[in-house]
Amino acid sequence: MTMRIDSVDFFYLSMPTVTLEADGSQDALLVRVTADGHVGWGECEASPLASIAAFVAPRSHGACQPVSASVIGERLDSPDDILRIAALVQHNSMDLLQAAHTFSGIEIALWDLLGRVREEPVWRLLGYDRAHAKTPYASVLFGDTPQETLDKGREQVRRGFRGVKFGWGAFGAGSPADDADQLHAAREAVGEDGLLFVDAGQVWGSDTDAALARLASLEAVRATWIEEPFEASEYDAHARLAASARTVRVAGGEASHNEAMARNLVDYGKVGFLQIDTGRIGGIGPAHRAARYADAREVTFVNHTFTSHLALSASLQPYAGLEHHAICEYPAEPKQLALDITTHHLALDESGTVTAPERPGLGVDVDADALMQYERVIDIVVDGRSVFDSPRIGAIASAERRIAS
């Protein structure tokens, strides 16, 4: 039987107040795809309103069509169909720069739907025989002071994490001495044997001298990597820093919104760790190909996610079967919205590891009832005609309860 994509629904969710904090869990854009009565869920990692607009915007010309033009009504029977639809989006929306972010959530939902129909986890649809356990690090922001960083790190160690990544905040914006104090507090927090990761959040743009000024401190505290020291496409800067480092490696990739950017970071940026966000690069398929590319070049692949456990599961699928790529980013301090998105979470096991679910699809279920308090109501009108009117997630919850009963 051939399935056809019937609908794509977007749900814009938000905390009551969104701050300037570098925390992407303050809002969310969930995607619900239906095909012949089957349902799959995904999550975009981008501005929700801009992503919705990219799905419904009137076409500007043949290569700047809305993402919907390449998705609705398309056949969905196999992973090859997901690849074919992705190629349609790329061709028909090549001048629509938000298209990759918009399609990422849709693509994830297509995999979830297909896995549920076939009663297989997504990682098995990708060709893996088993899902290997990953060692998660708690992903947190630097504290405003070294003492706050120390306290935050110790809390994550108490929760059972073997490693902690500290990022953003004031790191990199002040003096190298200030950053050294933060780094030493971070090392004290995780202990002598803990894994320490540092995320600079692109703070130095293309300024390699600024990054080099922190290199001695990073190596003194035995940081595993310095993540996103520069803007995503500054490959020369990444490579210069990588060439100067002795023990710390350069990491990056979360800003890659296509496979070429990921490959370029490996080939020209000389990163030691490639970090890909399925909610940005175009979904699970391109993230999987990036993981295989990194593996073939002896670069370690790592997921990127800072939001919900739906996003966490999606981010684990592309490299679930790669045994020697064993580090996993884990959202340790998400806002309540992100925690409420799914009915259950991917908890650390007794060994302090986490594994992609064995259940069909992404293996997690969306809690529509819990999300009603967060929904934003959007109506996009063009020439007096509504081109997008928010579906209500409460109606979805009611329908699912009727089906269950």
- Give domain status of residue 59, yes or no: yes
Residue 302 predicted with pLDDT over 90: yes
Check residue 38 and report its DSSP letter: E
Q: Return the CATH number at 77.
A: 3.30.390.10
274, 294 contact by CB (below 8 A): yes
Give residue 403's pLDDT: 55
Residues 159 and 70 in one domain: no
Instruction: Among 340, 358, 380, identify where a domain stops.
Output: 340
331 in the same domain as 195:
yes
Tokens for 35, please give them.
Answer: 């095909």
Residue 181 lies in a domain: yes
347 within domain boundaries: no
- pLDDT, one tens digit per residue, over 347-359 is 999 888 999 999 9
Whether 97 and 233 share a structural domain:
no
Query: Which tens digits make up the pLDDT trace of 348-401?
Result: 998 889 999 999 999 999 999 999 999 999 999 999 999 999 998 888 766 666
Asked if 62 and 153 sit in the same domain, the reply is no
Number of domains within the chain: 2
Tell me what the pLDDT averaged over the chain comes to: 95
Q: Is 228 a member of any domain?
A: yes
CB 156, CB 332: distance < 8 Å:
yes
Are 202 and 185 within one domain? Answer: yes
| C-alpha span between 45 and 281 (Å, rounded) | 10
Answer yes or no: is 155 within a domain.
yes
Same domain, 105 and 139: no
Q: Are residues 167 and 80 in the same domain?
A: no
**CATH code of the domain covering residue 300:** 3.20.20.120
Residues 173 and 194 in one domain: yes
Residue 155 has pLDDT above 70, yes or no: yes
Containing domain of residue 113, as a range?
5-119+366-404
pLDDT per residue over 107-144, tens digit each? Answer: 999 999 999 999 999 999 999 999 999 999 998 999 99
200-237 per-position pLDDT tens digit: 999 999 999 999 999 999 999 999 999 999 999 999 99
Shared-domain flag, residues 153 and 246: yes
- Residues 234 and 377 both lie in one domain: no
What pLDDT does 32 receive?
A: 97
Choosing from 340, 357, 389, the residue where a domain stops is: 340
Domain assignment of residue 350, yes or no:
no
C-alpha 220/C-alpha 331 separation (Å) is 26
pLDDT of 75 strictly over 60: yes
* SS3 of residue 148 by DSSP: helix
Is 353 inside any structural domain? no
How confident is residue 99, by pLDDT bands cut at 50, 70 and 90?
very high
Q: Looking at the structure, do residues 279 and 239 belong to the same domain, yes or no?
A: yes
The answer to whether residues 176 and 183 touch, using CB atoms and an 8 Å cutoff, is no
